[in-house]
Structures are given as structure tokens and as C-alpha cells.
């Protein structure tokens, strides 16, 4: 290695809240150095290969009343749907055919989809792929049943670490959410968590606390997403979340969680063309490709009706532009056609 080839990246290692706060707002050359350090940390951890997930949004029924989300029950404009296990399996076959090895089942918090998910998981697992869930707050027993069925990971974002903000915006206690996060780990699943950047009353201090809370939870996956105003919600007139803050938060998370899966979420692309590439350049290493059929997808309006829908082509182009490669399957995956 020739020491004169490239300047050494500045070694950033935030150790306290003052460091995190400073890095959250850094700009210009310092921000570029932060991103470079995040990429170096990702590479040193062997986490440069970009993980692709295929998401199926299986139900837009939801019990939660989150002020930012259009699938809240108060939104009577929303036409509701719930897929059955056969529909989920048909879409799984498309995901598997693309060589994607994580099937991501996402839904509003909808108790009526529990039985469907429990039926679908073992059938999906026959294709030798991982099952990642994002279905909201459940009982500890239900999380354990998902594991028995074959799920291995679960995303439950805390959204904000401020208990007052959380209660005001989400309508239920943060403590309940955190208890669920603990249960998810206790029953043996990997945990994904994270925040939304740009919520009302959020301060820089809150965002530092978000990162510290993520550290306490020791997640396997962590995300920061910019807030997207959503039609027919109480926050429809709020501005979008700040892109630079979100990118800095992603980079800080990479430094603090070098081995984590960190997504460049579709909301980044929604607020800026090329936003997901910026996410990868800030240290992210996951892209989620949407396999929800169009009819349903249009009704799963978590990021507004005109959300950015990530296609396989967009994902591959973004990965190539970042100078990275998609993560290869450890072994060839079996066809899902045998699953019934
Ligand atoms: N803006 C940003 N993130 C949102 N989510 C839902 N609605 C929005 C929005 N309007 C995120 C939440 C939730 C995940 C499934 O989607 O963080 O946990």
C-alpha cells in the first residue's frame, strides 16, 4: 500500500453526545471526511456488499394512529386490503427468481394478518430464504410463534427516543415499543430499529438521544429515514425531513455499528433524485426492492401516494454508481415452486 496514493481518512469515532451532535450537523469538507470514514468502517467490517431485500406489503389495515402515516385507521380515504398466504407465496416466487435471499413481510399493525403470516413463513422458508418481518407491536408469545414458524429477524423502529414526542405522535407509550424490541431479541430474532428525521418538536438533542437509544438496543439493523409528509394525515403540511441530517445520521450509525445492515431507504430517493446513492455513499449497505403488486402498492401509502417505488433496475444502477456490488447468495437458492 502506497501511503501517498490517497489521503488517509480522518478517523472519526464518536464517543459521547457532544461528538455525535457535532457530526450530525457537519458540512462541507468535514462532512465528506465523515462519509469517507463511514465507508472505510463499512469496508473494514466486511460489510461493503449491498444486501437486497424484497418487500411484500401484505396488509394496509393498521391499529396504530401515527400522525405521519396514511394507513392510520382515521384515514377513511384509504381503501384497505389484506393478502392471503397464496398471494404472498406467488410474490415470494418472483423475489426468489431474482436471486434475492431475504423476503421482507411488511404490514400495518393488523392482528388479522397474524394467522396468514404464520401460514406463509414456513412455506417461504422452503425456498431457503430468510424471512424478515415488520408487522408492529405484538405479544411476546406471537413473536415466539414467528420464530417457530421460521422468521429470523424483525424491524420495529422506535421512530423517536423522546417519550413525550412519541406519545403525542404515535399515540401509545414509547416504553411499550421498547418492551416489544426487547422481546424480539429475547425470542431469538435479529432486531432492526431506527428513527424518523424531521418530526415535529424534534431537536438536535433528540436526534443524539435517538442514536444513544439505538446503541442501548444493540440492533443488528439500524435506519434513519427522512420524514415524508403524507396526504390525509395530521402532519400533511409539515416539510420533508432534512436530507443532510439524515445522511450524517446514517454515517454516524455506520461508525458506531460497523457490522450492521443499514438501509438507504426509498424516502431518500423520494426527497432527492439520487438520494439512495447518497445513502450508500454515507455508509448504508441495504436496498429494499418493492415486489408489492401495483394495485396494492398504491394503497400502501406510508411515504405518501406518490412514493418512490424501488425497482430492481434502480437498485442495481444505484449499487454500481456507488462502486459497490450486491451481496451474493451464500448458496444457490431453490425454486419456490415446490412450496405449497
Ligand atoms: N415519513 C417517514 N417515515 C415513515 N414511516 C411511515 N410513514 C412515514 C413517513 N410519512 C416509517 C416508520 C415505520 C416504517 C414502516 O415506515 O418509521 O416504522
In the chain, what are the domains? 18-321 (3.20.20.70)
Determine the length of the chain.
340
Q: Which of 5-14, 172-181, 258-267, 277-286 is predicted with the least confidence, judged by mean pLDDT?
A: 5-14
Residue 230 alpha carbon, nearest atom of ligand 1:
10
pLDDT of res. 305: 63
Q: Mean pLDDT across the stretch 47-68?
A: 97
Residue of 207 and 306 predicted with greater confidence? 207
pTM for the complete prediction?
Answer: 0.93
Cell of 188: 431469538
The β-bridge partners of 201 are none
Q: Output the CA 55–ligand 1 centroid distance in Å.
A: 15
How many CB atoms sit inside 10 A of residue 29's CB? 9
Q: Whose CA is nearest to atom 16 of ligand 1?
A: 302
Largest CA distance in the chain: 63
Edge-first strand order for the sheet with 130-134 is 221-226, 190-197, 153-155, 130-134, 102-107, 51-59, 286-290
Gap from CA of 331 to ligand 1 centroid (Å): 33
* CA dist 142 → 74, 88, 90, 111, 292 (Å): 26, 20, 25, 10, 24
- Enumerate the β-bridge partners of residue 155: 192
Nearest Cα to Cα of residue 304 among 250, 225, 246, 251: 225
Please give the C-alpha separations between residue 220 and each of 22, 62, 304, in angstroms, as whole numbers. Answer: 25, 26, 28
User: Distance from the CA of 196 to the center of ligand 1, in angstroms?
Assistant: 7
Query: What value does the mean pLDDT take over residues 277-298?
Result: 94
Q: Which residue's CA is the nearest one to ligand 1's atom 6?
A: 302
Q: How far is the CA of 330 from the centre of ligand 1 (A)?
A: 31
Q: How far is the CA of 218 from the centre of ligand 1 (A)?
A: 21
Average pLDDT over residues 130-141: 98
Q: What is the mean pLDDT of the chain?
A: 92
Which residue is closest in CA terms to ligand 1's atom 18?
A: 157
Quick one: pLDDT at residue 330?
55
Given a cut of 50, whether residue 72 has pLDDT beyond it is yes
For residues 75 and 238, give the distance between their C-alpha atoms in angstroms, rounded to a whole number. 17
| Ligand 1 center–CA 86 separation, angstroms | 27
Alpha helices in 126-161 (DSSP H): 140-149
Q: What angle (nearest 5°) sits at the alpha carbon of residue 38, between those of residues 35 and 40?
A: 110
> For residue 97, how far is its CA from the centre of ligand 1 (angstroms)?
28
Q: Which atom of ligand 1 is nearest to the CA of 68?
A: 10
Q: Is 44 exposed, middle or buried (0-12, 13-18, 19+ CB in 10 A)?
A: exposed
Which atom number of ligand 1 is nearest to the Cα of residue 223?
17
What is the mean pLDDT of the segment spanning 215-231?
97
Predicted confidence (pLDDT) per residue in 77-119, tens digit: 899 999 999 999 999 999 999 999 999 999 999 999 999 999 9
State which ligand 1 atom lies nearest to the alpha carbon of 228: 1
Residue 337 has pLDDT above 80, yes or no: no
Model confidence at 299, pLDDT cuts 50, 70, 90, reads confident
Give the confidence band of 157 by pLDDT, cuts at 50, 70, 90: very high
Question: Distance from first CA to last CA of the chain, Å, rounded?
Answer: 54
CB-defined site of ligand 1, < 6 Å: 68-69, 134, 157, 159, 196, 225, 227-228, 230, 267, 302-303
Residue 193 pLDDT exceeds 90: yes
- Rounded distance from Cα 43 to ligand 1 centre (Å): 29
Q: How confident is the model at residue 334 (pLDDT cuts 50, 70, 90)?
A: very low
Tell me, what's the pLDDT at 309?
A: 86
Pseudo-torsion of CA 91, 291, 154, 326, nearest 10°? Answer: 110
Task: pLDDT band for 185, please (50, 70, 90 cuts).
Answer: very high
State percent of the chain over pLDDT 90.
Answer: 86
Closest ligand 1 atom, CA of 134?
15
Q: How far is CA 179 from CA 49, 183, 186, 298, in A?
A: 32, 6, 10, 32
| Atom 3 of ligand 1: nearest residue by CA position | 227
Amino acid at each position: 500500500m502506497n501511503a501517498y496514493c490517497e489521503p488517509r481518512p480522518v478517523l472519526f469515532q464518536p464517543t459521547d453526545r457532544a461528538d455525535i451532535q457535532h457530526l450530525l450537523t457537519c458540512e462541507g469538507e468535514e462532512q465528506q471526511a465523515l462519509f469517507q470514514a463511514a465507508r472505510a468502517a463499512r469496508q473494514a467490517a466486511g460489510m461493503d456488499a449491498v444486501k437486497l431485500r424484497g418487500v411484500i406489503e401484505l396488509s394496509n389495515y393498521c391499529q396504530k394512529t401515527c400522525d405521519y402515516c396514511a394507513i392510520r385507521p382515521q384515514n377513511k380515504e384509504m381503501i384497505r386490503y389484506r393478502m392471503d398466504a397464496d398471494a404472498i407465496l406467488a410474490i415470494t416466487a418472483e423475489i426468489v427468481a431474482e436471486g434475492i435471499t431475504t423476503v421482507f413481510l411488511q404490514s400495518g399493525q393488523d392482528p388479522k394478518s397474524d394467522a396468514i403470516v404464520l401460514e406463509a413463513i414456513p412455506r417461504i422458508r422452503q425456498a431457503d430464504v430468510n424471512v424478515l418481518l415488520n408487522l408492529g407491536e405484538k405479544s411476546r408469545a406471537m413473536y415466539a410463534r414467528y420464530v417457530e414458524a421460521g422468521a429470523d429477524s424483525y424491524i420495529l423502529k422506535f421512530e423517536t427516543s423522546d417519550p413525550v414526542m412519541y406519545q403525542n405522535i404515535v399515540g401509545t407509550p414509547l416504553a411499550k415499543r421498547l418492551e416489544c424490541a426487547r422481546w424480539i431479541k429475547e425470542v431469538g430474532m435479529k432486531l432492526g430499529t431506527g428513527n424518523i428525521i424531521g418530526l415535529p418538536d424534534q431537536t438536535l438533542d433528540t436526534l443524539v438521544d435517538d442514536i444513544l437509544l439505538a446503541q442501548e438496543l444493540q440492533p443488528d439493523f439500524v435506519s434513519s429515514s427522512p420524514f415524508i409528509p403524507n396526504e390525509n394525515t395530521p402532519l400533511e403540511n409539515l416539510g420533508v425531513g432534512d436530507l443532510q441530517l439524515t445522511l450524517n445520521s446514517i454515517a454516524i450509525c455506520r461508525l458506531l455499528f460497523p457490522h450492521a445492515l443499514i438501509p438507504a431507504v426509498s424516502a431518500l430517493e423520494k426527497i432527492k433524485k439520487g438520494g439512495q446513492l447518497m445513502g450508500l455513499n454515507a455508509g448504508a449497505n441495504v436496498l429494499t426492492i418493492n415486489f408489492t403488486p401495483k394495485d396494492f402498492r398504491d394503497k400502501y401509502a406510508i411515504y405518501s401516494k406518490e412514493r418512490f417505488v424501488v425497482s430492481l433496475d434502480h437498485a442495481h444502477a444505484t449499487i454500481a454508481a456507488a462502486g459497490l456490488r450486491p451481496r451474493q447468495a451464500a448458496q444457490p437458492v431453490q425454486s419456490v415452486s415446490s412450496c405449497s
